[in-house]
Chain A
Amino acid sequence: MIRRLKNYLTGPKGVPYLFVAPFIIFFLLVYLYPLIMTIIMSFQQIDGPNHHDFIGLKNYMKLNTRDFNMALQTSGRYAVWDVIVLTIIPLLVACVLHSGLAKASNFFKSLFFIPSLTSIIVAGIVFRLAFGTLETATVNRALTFFGLQPVKWLSYAGPGNFVLILLTLWRWNGVNIVYYLSGLQAIPTDHYEAAQIDGANAWQKFIHVTLPGIRPVLIYVITITVLGGFSMFTESVALWQQNNAGGVGRTIVGYMYMVGFKKNNLGLASAVGLVLLGLVVAVNLIQLVLMGFFRKED
C-alpha cells in the first residue's frame, strides 16, 4: 500500500500534485477558508467567541452611511489618481532613462528606487510634519516665500488627497520604473530601426513601438496599482494617525479596520471587506477587458 502510494507520488502522474501541494494547502488555509468565513460572518452579529447570531442582510443595510460613502469616495478618488500618476510618470521616467538621453542613468535608477526601501510610517510622519496645518510648516513656508497662501494640507479632501498621492508617488515611483525598464529592455532594437527607416518620429515610435512592446508590463502595473489603490491603508494611517477629521483620509480598509477593531463589530467589518472585494474584482475585470487581456494574441 505504502509502496504503491510512493510509486504514485514519485511517478509522472503524482509528482505535479506533490509540487503544487504547498501552494494548494496554503491557498486553502490562508485564502479560501478566511474568505468563506468572512462571507458567513458578514451575515452575523458577533459578540465574543460564543455569540454568533445570523441577522440576514442587516450588516449590509448598515453600510448606507455617510462615513462609509465617504470612505468609498476617498478610496475611489485615490485609486483613480494613483493609477493615472503611477502609470504615466514612471513610464516617462523609464523611457528617458532607457533612451540614453540622461547621463548617469544608473545613478538616477538607484536614486528613484531608494524611497521604496524606507519605512512608510517614517516617511508618513515626515510628510505629515512637512505638510502641517500651521503657516510655519515646511511646505507652507515655501508657499509663502513665493507669495502664495498657506494651505491646511491635511484638513481638507482635495489637498489631503494630493499629499497622499505625492507620498505614494515618491515611494512607489522607483518600483514601477524597474518594471517598465525590464519591459523596455525586452523590445528588440531592430523594431526602432525599422521605424526609423519608415520615417517615424520619436512620438510615433513611442506610440507604435514602445507601447505595444511593453503592453504586458503595462497591464501588470495597472492591475497592481488598482489593487494597491483600493487597499491602501498604511499611507493614510501614517499621515492622519488614528484621528481622521472629517474622514478626509479614511479609506475603505481604514473603515473596515475601525469597524472591526475599534467598534468590535467583526460582522459589519466582514460585510465591508466583501463589498471592497466585489468592487476591486469589478474594476479589475473592466480594466483587463478594456486592455484586451482576454483577447487571443494575434
Chain B
Amino acid sequence: MSRIEIQKTYKIYIGGQFPRTESGRYYPLKNKKGDVMANICLCSRKDFRNAEVAARGAQAGWGSRAAFNRAQILYRIAEMLEGRKEQFISELILQGSTLAAAKIEVEVSIDRMVYYSGWCDKFQTIFSSVNPVASSHFNFSVPEPTGVVAIIADENTSLLGLVTAIAPVIAGGNTCIVLASESKPLCAVTFAEVLNSSDLPGGVVNILTGNSAELHEHFSNHMDVNAVIYYRNNKAEIKTIKENASLNVKRVFVYNKINISTEKAQSPYFIFDTQEIKTTWHPIENIGTAKAGY
C-alpha cells in the first residue's frame, strides 16, 4: 500500500506568525482538472488591520538597523530561496506553469533578491546629497524609510511578483503588508516560510491572501499606512486607492506598466519611491574668513 501524502495547509503570515484568517473564510484553489488543491485564506479587513499593527510595530527597529545588516538578511532570504528552489518550481507547475517557465521564475526571483540585498547599503549614497548652501551651515539630505507600505502585488506571477514588490520596500527600511496573487497564491505562503527562517524580524513583511476587489479599499484608507503600491490593471481600483490615499496624504505608486520578468523591473529608483528625503542644517562656526559651508 502506498503511503498517504501529507498535504500542506496554506495559511497567512502576520507578525512572524502563521495564523489563519480571523474571518474563518477560505476559497478553494483548483488545478486544471478542477480538483481542489488547497483551501486558501480569504483575508478580511481585520486581517489587514492586524498586519498593519505588526508592520508598524516592526518598522522602527527594522528601519534603524545597520544597512549592512539589512543587506545580510536579504541575502539570507536569497539563500533560503535557493535551497527551496525545487519546492517553488513544483508549486508553480501545480499552478499551471511549465517546468522551463517555473525554473526561470524562481531563478529570476532569487537573483532579484540578491540584487536588492546589494542595494541596502548603497542607495543612500546615490540619493543623498551635501548641499552647498550660501550661508555658513553644513547642510545634507538623506533618504529615510517612509514607514509602513501596503502592497497589492502582481496577479499573474506567484513568486516573482512578490519578490519584486517586497525587496525594494524592505531594502529601504520600510515594513509592508502584501496581498499575494489571488489565482496563484501557493508560493506566497511558502515564501513566508522562507522569510520566517531568514532572520527577518517578524512584522517586517506580512503576507495576506484574498481578493483585491474586497481589500484594496482597506489597504488604501487605513490612517496609519504611509504608502500604497499597486501592480495590477484595474482602473476603478486605482482610482479608489488614489482617492482614499488623500485621507492622510499617502504616497501612491502604480507599477502596472513594467514587465516584471525583465531587469527593467529592478532598480534603486524603486527603493527611492518609498523613501523620504530629510535635510539637516547645522551652523558652522565662523572663524577667520569662512562665510559658507561645503
Q: Do the two shown chains form a genuine complex with each other?
A: no
Enumerate chain B interface residues (CB-CB to A < 8 A). none
Enumerate chain A interface residues (CB-CB to B < 8 A). none
